[in-house]
Structure 1
Amino acid sequence: MVNRAWYFASQDCRLQKDIVYSLPTLSTSLETIRVLGTKQTPNLILSNLDGSSLSKEVIKHIVHYLGPHLEHISLCSSSITESAFLSLISYCHSLQKLDLSGCNSLFMSGTLLEKPKDTFRTRKALLNLQELNLSNLRYLSDRTFNRLTGCSPMLKELSLAGCLVTFEFDPYHGSVISDSSAVLSLRNLIKFLKERAVSLKALDLSRTGITSEALKSVAQVNGLCLEKLVLQNCKEISDDAIGILCKSQPGLINLDLSGCSELTGKSVVAISANLQELRHLKLGRLRRLTDDVLAGLAELKELQSLDVSDCHQICGSELVKCFSFSESKMVHLSFSGCSLLKDSTVFSLAKLFGTSLRLLDLTSCLSITDISIRAIIFYLNNLTVLRLGWCKEITDWGLLGMQDPNEEHCPETKDDLGPKFSRNFGNMGFFTPPTYFDDRPVMITKLEDLLINGEKHGPTLRALRHLQELDLTACRKLTDISLQQVIQLPNLKKLSLGMVNEITDRTLVSVATHCRSLEHLSVNHCCFLTDEGMIQTLQTVGRLVSLDISCCDGISDRTLAAIAENCKWLKNLDVSMCNGITVARVELLQSQIPWATNIKTRFVGGADLSISL
């Protein structure tokens, strides 16, 4: 946007450290690889690699143009062969991260790195490897695990999420040798942890069926000082095991216990008492948690991220109390699915965390209203992610920073906010606590009339100028009136307006005009959208990666033609149950944009199809 010299300067590899390029196994990718070679690209995701001649050609190009510069390679869920893997890895001597999750074909035979020359070449390439992801591997055994980790002496992070690990019995019956080609055992894992205790800092054992006794054994490995531990959906873990974990690993910075359904408030007490360095804590789907146990989190002075999503007994009042006297400044906060959360709590938390909060997730918090929205807009000016999906009481008035005058005559809208809450909101300058009248006649005020007459109001959603993600899914009281005016966010990359039934092409075109950085757009079940609006949108927004227009009956094959012409980066498309779209046009679209790796077409043209490339 400046000139060619500045453009090429911006492509310098030193400015590309956080950029990851994703390449499908296509003939068109060969030229892309050559171009990336000139930029010395360090991060690469490769999809759909297998034993085909095209895959071999892609690997040759990667080795020739990118090999010496690659620091991160992801082969997630590829069907890559052993020979192809070795030919790729052997020439990537700068690797720091390697993702082999779901690459079951690579481990099925059990012969990976069986030959000494292969082991030598791989060890030379993985000498500086720090992160290894072995998640979701059905055929990982002690033998292949030992061979692969033996080539990575500097390993700091290891993921075994979703792997089949035997925790409850010893397949070696006390033998010194642990080199099974059939199972991955706890005993072998403990041996590995003892050998790498000094260097290993992060471990992911999510969805592995780890037992409480096994977790205690892992936590108590002599010399092991973990900073990150992920135990998502480990349903066998007890409060007692978490207590031992917290005492044995006091240096934990990141702890994820989401979905560990047997845990209660005792685990939170143990965390608060022992993990003083903790910064990131996830307690999602712990349905036994009650609000009172969260008061102890005030002891965690470094806490920056808290997730209590789907904890249905949490209302947040104790969090307000504990953080009122805490020095921690929250950055990420998730209450998704906490239906007891009220406006008074949202207001207090917004005022408490102010400019520090970057992510707020209130998805399915059914009780919150426009009062919460006005508080968010007024206090949380630095938000980058705001999720309000399924908050069905939110209206146009809230997004526009206005109070619905008709609420004054509706006693049923009165909330138990208390005098202090009302006084604080009054000081914000744009909200007046509702006054309830018994005899005054009801006067229905239309929002359109107030906007035409220039009625004064507080800041609108546009005040959140740093917003990059906005989710308003199923907020069915929203209309074009507010959305056209407030969704004018130049940094917005992800927007969901699915099931906001009242929106029309006017909102869609307005969003495209003011949000040029948009990459992900969902407008499913919006029955008033038409081809005209979609075509204008696609011609304006050139960066779309994901588009969901399912169940939009006003959309036809004309939109698919516009997608083929304008969407050069699109990877995910959902046109399911669009009556105006035909199977033939979908097939043509696939040939026109082969880089689209996921096209969903259920019930298109009267058929039940599910096309996933």
Structure 2
Amino acid sequence: MASIELPYEVLVYLFKYLLHADRKSASETCRSWYLAANDHCFLKEKVLVFYKADFNGEITPIPAIEDSIIPYENFVFSEVEISSKMNTFWDKMGENIKTLTIRKCDIHEKTMNYILQKCTNLEKLSIQSCKELFMSGCLFEKAEDWLIDSFKNLKSINLSENKYLTDALFYRIVKAAPELNDLCLSSCNLQFHVGFIRKFYPNTNNIFENPSESVLTLYFVMQFIASRAKKIRSLVFSNTLFDGAALESLAQIEDLKLDSLELQSCDQLTNTGIMALTKYQQTLRELNIALCTRVTDLSLRYICNNLVNLEYLNIRRCRAVTNLGLSELHKLNKLKRLNIAQCELISEEGIEYGICQKVNLILEELDLNSLNLHQNVAIMISEKLPNLRYLDLSYCFNAVTDMSIQKIFKNQVHLRTLKLTYCDRVSDAGFSGIGKLEINIDSDGPATSNYSENHPTNRIHLGSRAEEEIIRDARRKRDVMNICKKMTFYPLPSYTGYSLGRLKSLRELNLSSCNRLTDVSLTYAFMFKELRILDLSRCQQITVDGIIHLVINCPSIEYLNLTDCYNLKDDAVVEIVQGLKRLQNLILRGCNHITDKSLEAIMDHCKVLRVLDIQGCRCVSVELACNIAVPSIHTVLMSKPGVVYFKDGVKDRVPIPPTLPSLFRKLRY
């Protein structure tokens, strides 16, 4: 039977319904599918990332990009050396580049000048943490004509984390971009003291004629924003000394109509500044004031009363915010994303009156990380916010139980991201909806559970409470497993609720330290064709039996974290690398039972693996790990037993000491 070749336009239309990973796999089928999967409508979101790549060796990724028939538009260079040896790359690709990010790179002024001369159609430019580039202060000193030509379409500039940035350097860059809309100066050494103005700008009539080559001052940046007020729409001043007075001055700039403002970790920010912002910038759609410790309920009241167009609000770790301020949130009728994580004074009352006063079909993302909530709150959220796409209940120990999680599975069917880190009260009965768990699924009231853990016995238990808990978990696992096996032969409707597998749209799932999760849930509840990111770290009861079903039912996993899963051995790793063809990040740190056999399986089967973390794996040969033959891999993390884990070159102390979870359990009763 002859094959039928679909028209190019039809292929492009069909590929729009696929996720990026699926589209990438489809592009490897044939040339026509490759071209359709890389159509211009998809290239806008495709980014080529060069992380710690070697551009000076004999084998580099540059020739493959230069010879490609696809005109890539977005490039990120992170922690690499960019020298004149790459000039031919910029000659060929520069004209097509729309977005360019250079982060923590070893690059000199001459090379940067050459790059920007070739990139004549830039729309977004990000130069982050490149201290050597700005250290001399001579960058773009004699580049006015060609820089204006290169920046004629530039709309976004990110100069964050550059401590040697000065007023002169800043002005050379931004004055060449007449269409600039977005500006980011996060973590820059912005100077606020009035003494700098008196010293460097005694004559303030026209400060642009002689900008300071010594410091970066807020006064100069404000003057520039005022000169471009009709164009500027987004500003980022996070991790600076931005205070209430500065925000008040910014808000009152004539003709300035901001859409987005980020002031995260600005400890000096006060209610006075927030009041001025909400009075003069009522066009704001996005506001991030996370980790601003001086923000109180009064600020939240101003925000909710005046910023009626707000779609995104982040007040994470604003510890002075209480239920009184949160109850005002119901006034924001357009709010789509909300982050109130780590606000210690928020409880059930504030969430009920502020977020769940009535059914809300607008809110799509909600972060409640580390709040002291009861399970009734999780149930209420599931009923009042049915259109959530993102939900983070990590460290909400009392809120996430078998009962509340069942209500979430019933109502939150559109979820794409679910995070339940350290929610260790949830068991297989809750994840699978199977077992001695009877949920009132047809009633409108709160879910109830008839799960019984009492087993008649005449024996006197002489062990500790921890040992008793282990025995109880084992019995629970056995009971749920027995019922699951029976259900394969005949239905048991009175014993079934809602499975995690009901959330068909899940793409990211974090169950780190949910230690009651066992192979039962992996076998009967994990059925996600689109799941890409899965974190099962410190789920110490899972074994190869559950992994076998996991890789079959979740074939699209790209990131898998199995840190400190002590019961996993080589056979589990073999199943993972054989079954997960798209696996790019595999975290096995602390899995003490894996040996060189796992590394051999990785070399045989992993074709696209990029990051492998085997820190603390005592039985793995260092020599074999250092010489692992996987062409795509660029990072292998190793350490001796007992050494602190490292992630991206930074000490990672994520594993919480074993005493803390037990302490938390005592405190919540």
The alignment status of 1:148 with 2:173, answered yes or no, reads yes
Matching residue of 2:420: 388
What is aligned with 1:556? 595
Per the alignment, residue 483 of structure 2 pairs with 450
Q: Which residue of 2 aligns with 1:500?
A: 539
Q: Note the C-alpha offset of 1:59.
A: 4.4
How many residues are treated as equivalent by the alignment?
A: 585
Separation of aligned partners in 1, 2:263 and 2:435: 44
Match of 2:443 in 1: 427
Conserved in 2, the CA contact under 8 Å of 1:498 and 1:525?
yes
After superposition, the C-alpha distances for 1:253-303 in whole angstroms (9 at most, x for unaligned) are: 000011001111111111011100000000100112112321111111100
2:152 to 121, 127, 149: 127
| Contact 1:167 1:211 survives alignment (8 Å) | no
In structure 1, the partner of 2:117 is 90
CA positional deviation for 1:373: 1.1
SS across alignment from 1:75: strand
- 1:40 corresponds to which of 71, 76, 87: 71
Q: 1:586 aligned to 2:621? A: no
The answer on whether the counterparts of 2:435 and 2:480 sit within 8 Å (CA) in structure 1 is no
What are the superposed Cα offsets for residues 76-107 of structure 1, whole Å, 9 maximum, x if unpaired? Answer: 11121111112112111221111111121211
Aligned partners of 2:271 and 2:577: how far apart in 1?
Answer: 52
8 Å contact kept, 2:566–2:591: yes
**Cα distance in structure 2, aligned partners of 1:71 and 1:380:** 38
Q: Report the residue type matching 1:317 in the other structure.
A: E
Deviation at residue 32 of structure 1 after TM alignment: 2.7
Alpha carbons 1:430, 1:458 under 8 Å: kept:
no
Matched to 1:73, the amino acid is L
CA deviation digits over 1:181-223, x for unaligned, max 9?
A: 1210011011111111001100000001112211211221111
Distance 1:222 1:48 in 2: 40
| Residue of structure 2 aligned with 1:169, choices 179, 189, 194 | 194
CA distance in structure 1 between the aligned counterparts of 2:644 and 2:389, rounded to whole angstroms: 41
Give the distance between the partners of 2:329 and 2:644, measured in 1 at CA: 50
Q: For residues 344-373 of structure 1, what are the alpha-carbon distances to aligned partners after superposition, in whole Å with 9 as ceiling and x for unaligned?
A: 11111111121x210000011010201121
Partner Cα separation in structure 1 for residue 616 and residue 190 of structure 2? 41
Distance 2:305 2:359 in 1: 15
Contact 2:151 2:177 (8 Å CA) reproduced: yes
Does 1:363 pair with 2:394?
A: yes
Cα separation, 1, equivalents of 2:451 and 2:643: 56
Alignment of 1:271 with 2:271, yes or no, is: no
Q: Aligned residue for 1:600?
A: 637
Per-residue deviation, 1:490: 0.8
Distance 1:195 1:570, change over 3 A: farther
Q: Is the Cα contact below 8 Å between 1:301 and 1:326 reproduced in 2?
A: no
Letter in 1 for 2:192: F
- Secondary structure at the residue paired with 2:118? coil
Give the Å deviation of 1:546: 1.9
Alpha carbons of structure 1 residues 380 and 438: separation in structure 2 relative to 1, 3 Å: closer
**Matching residue of 2:567:** 528
Matched residue type, 1:333: L
> How far off is 1:383 after superposition?
0.5
Cα offset for 1:426? 4.8
1:441-520 residue pairs with structure 2 within 5 A? 446-454=479-487, 455-456=492-493, 457-520=496-559
Give distance in 2, aligned partners of 1:102 and 1:187. Answer: 23
- Determine whether 1:56 maps to 2:84: yes
Shift of 1:150: 1.1
Which whole-Å CA distance do the structure 2 matches of 1:150 and 1:359 have between them?
Answer: 40
- 8 Å CA contact 1:502, 1:526 repeated in 2: yes
CA distance in 2, matches of 1:437, 1:85: 67
Which stretch shows the higher mean deviation, 304-313 or 322-331?
A: 322-331
Residue 6 of structure 1 is matched in structure 2 by: 33
The change in CA–CA distance for 1:170 and 1:217 in structure 2 (over 3 A counts) is farther
Cα separation, 2, equivalents of 1:369 and 1:345 = 11
Q: Using the TM superposition, name which of 227-236 and 163-172 deviates more.
A: 163-172
Q: Aligned with 2:537: secondary structure?
A: coil
Cα-to-partner distance string for 1:520-557 (whole Å, 9 max, x where unaligned):
11000001111121122112222222221100001122
Distance 2:638 2:481 in 1: 39
User: Is residue 296 of structure 2 the alignment partner of residue 259 of structure 1?
Assistant: no
Deviation, 1:566, is 3.5
Task: Measure how far apart 1:3 and its partner are.
Answer: 4.7
Evaluate the alpha carbon distance shift between residue 327 and residue 549 of structure 1 in structure 2; reply closer, same or farther with a 3 A threshold.
Answer: closer
1:138 to 160, 163, 172: 163
* Aligned twin of 1:414: none
Out of 176-185 and 372-381, give the one that drifted further: 176-185
Query: For the Cα contact (< 8 Å) 2:544–2:571, is it kept in 1?
Result: yes
Residue pair 2:242, 2:269 contacting (<8 A) in 1 also: yes
Report deviation, 1:593: 4.5
Shift in Å, 1:34: 2.4
- After TM superposition, give the deviation of residue 336 of structure 1 in Å: 0.5
What SS is found at the alignment partner of 2:380? Answer: helix
Conservation of the 8 A alpha-carbon contact between 1:304 and 1:328: no
Aligned to 2:659: none
Q: Deviations over 1:550-585 (max 9, x none)?
A: 000011222223333443433333211110123212
Partner of 1:418: none
Matches within 5 A, 1:171-570: 171-173=196-198, 174-176=202-204, 177=207, 179-322=211-354, 323-325=356-358, 329-338=362-371, 340-354=372-386, 356-367=387-398, 368-402=400-434, 404-405=436-437, 426-427=442-443, 433-434=449-450, 446-454=479-487, 455-456=492-493, 457-570=496-609
Going from structure 1 to structure 2, the CA distance change for 1:383 and 1:610 (only over 3 Å counts) comes to: closer
TM-score by length of 2: 0.82
Q: Write the distance in 2 (CA, Å) between the matches of 1:170 and 1:92.
A: 40
The one-character-per-residue Cα deviations of 1:32-88 (angstroms, maximum 9, x if unpaired) are: 3125x411111111233335xxx4333422x23322221111111112111111211
Q: 1:245 to 1:256 in 2, by over 3 A?
A: same
Q: Could you tell me whether the CA contact under 8 Å between 1:366 and 1:391 is conserved in 2?
A: yes
Is the contact between residue 25 and residue 48 of structure 1 (CA under 8 Å) also seen in structure 2? no
CA contact under 8 A between 1:598 and 1:611: conserved in structure 2? Answer: no
Q: Is the 8 A contact 1:170 1:187 kept in 2?
A: no
Inter-CA distance 436–449: structure 2 relative to 1 (3 Å threshold): closer
Measure, in 2, the Cα distance between the counterparts of 1:59 and 1:25: 15
Report how far residue 378 of structure 1 moved.
Answer: 0.5
Task: Tell me what 2:62 maps to.
Answer: 30
Shift, 1:610, TM fit = 6.1
Q: Secondary structure at the match of 1:512?
A: helix
Alignment partner, residue 71 of structure 1: 98
Q: Which residue of 1 aligns with 2:184?
A: 159
Letter of the structure 2 residue corresponding to residue 553 of structure 1:
N
**Inter-partner Cα distance in structure 2 for 1:192 and 1:262:** 28
- What whole-Å deviation, never above 9, does each CA across 1:84-140 have from its counterpart, x for those lacking one? 11211211122111111112121111100011xx23222211111111111111110
Matched residue type, 1:89: L
Q: 1:106 aligns with which of 113, 116, 133?
A: 133
Q: What's the offset of the Cα at 1:343?
A: 1.5
Partner of 2:667: none
Scaled by the length of structure 1, the TM-score of the pair is: 0.90
Compute the displacement of 1:608 (Å): 7.7
Percent of aligned pairs sharing the same letter: 27
Secondary structure at the counterpart of residue 158 of structure 1: strand
